[in-house]
Structure 1
Amino acid sequence: MSTFTIFLALIVVVAFLLVVVIMVQNPKGGGLSSSFGGGGTQQLGGVKKTTDFLDKSTWALATLLLVLILLSNIAINKGTESIDSKALDSDATTTQPLPAATPLPTTNDTATPEDSTEE
């Protein structure tokens, strides 16, 4: 497995986790933070601590995603082959053969007004 493939798998996992963390949040104060701290102050962490955790994890995952994307760009196998455009190269003149012209069918079925004999 190449380094780029490992980075690609990590990017997919981090992106999925980032989507999950963002979907759990609710900008109106609901979501996961309200279910943990809504009943009283003796709950798991309280509203403020849950919101802080979700906010910090969102920033951490977004930063990690950005770093992984930048590092994967370095890990791409660019090869030794030149990727310059061949369209601008004057030495490489390749011509495509033209398709063979097909003759139009000739028929003598066209009737002229003089040929028609209507009675």
Structure 2
Amino acid sequence: MENKKVFVFDDNTDILDLCTIILEDAGYDIKTSSTSNNIVDQVMAYMPDIIFMDNWLPDIGGMDATKALKADPLLKNIPVIYFSANNDVKSLADQAGADGYLSKPFDIEELEIIIQKHLTI
């Protein structure tokens, strides 16, 4: 069975490193990016099973990046989980059209639960 692929977008390299360690330990393949430049091309090149999208990304920002992915017929079915330290992460996720959200700081269990929830659909 192939590993599920997770793509994490965040401008904070510490968070990217943390996610990489956690998710590789849990048996996922992971790719990270600190920019939302050419978001559709980045995602198309990897075709992940799930995407984590930070709100504060350089260039177009998490909200516009999520909307761009959801507007693409080949990518729109990939679950996008919005994650942010904003108090209103749920409403940001709704506005962006994301499939779910995760508040920062998050614990490892929350991260794994949300991935399993969206990958078993």
Structure ranking higher in strand proportion: 2
Higher Rg: 1
TM-score (structure 2 length as normaliser): 0.19
- Higher relative contact order, structure no. (Cα contacts within 8 Å, ≥ 6 residues apart): 1
TM-score w.r.t. the length of structure 1 is 0.19
